[in-house]
């Protein structure tokens, strides 16, 4: 194992690197999946961790969740007529509609991908 540090603003944060492995970015949905695995799917969590595939699995889930969220958001906005024209005419109505759509899409993503 090798320790390296990178500067982020005024701080140096350590980056633990295992020889031959690349760093994998895990976003918020990946961390939600990790919490669900630890809490509800302990055997799967243990298997992924012992085989060294946990980070890869979390990154894949995170990517799938963001892709599904983007797709659902655009499809719902199109189906409900929330367009750039509405944004130009009434920004508050557009923001309200988009927040509603995003919340519903995020609920679907969490139920279908994260906690399955």
The answer as to whether 66 is a domain residue is yes
The answer as to whether 19 is a domain residue is no
Cα distances from 28 to residues 18, 78, 85, in angstroms, run 23, 26, 32
CA atoms within 13 A on the CB side of 26: 16
The answer as to whether 105 is a domain residue is yes
The answer as to whether 54 is a domain residue is yes
> Tens digits of per-residue pLDDT, 55-99?
999 999 999 999 999 999 999 999 999 999 999 999 999 999 999
The total number of structural domains in the chain stands at 1
Range of the domain at 91: 25-114
The answer as to whether 33 is a domain residue is yes
> Tens digits of per-residue pLDDT, 14-59?
665 544 566 788 899 999 999 999 999 999 999 999 998 999 999 9
pTM: 0.77
Q: Which of 89, 87, 110 is nearest to 99 (CA)?
A: 87
Q: Rg of the chain over CA atoms, in angstroms?
A: 19
């Amino acid at each position: 194992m090798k320790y390296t540090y990178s500067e982020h603003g005024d701080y140096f944060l350590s980056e633990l690197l295992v020889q031959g492995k690349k760093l994998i970015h895990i976003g918020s949905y990946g961390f939600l999946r990790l919490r669900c695995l630890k809490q509800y799917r302990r055997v799967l969590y243990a298997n992924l961790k012992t085989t060294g595939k946990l980070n890869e699995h979390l990154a894949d889930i995170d990517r799938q969740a963001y892709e599904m969220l983007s797709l659902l958001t655009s499809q719902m906005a199109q189906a409900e007529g929330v367009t750039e024209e509405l944004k130009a005419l009434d920004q508050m109505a557009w923001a309200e509609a988009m927040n509603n759509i995003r919340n519903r899409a995020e609920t679907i993503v969490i139920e279908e991908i994260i906690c399955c």
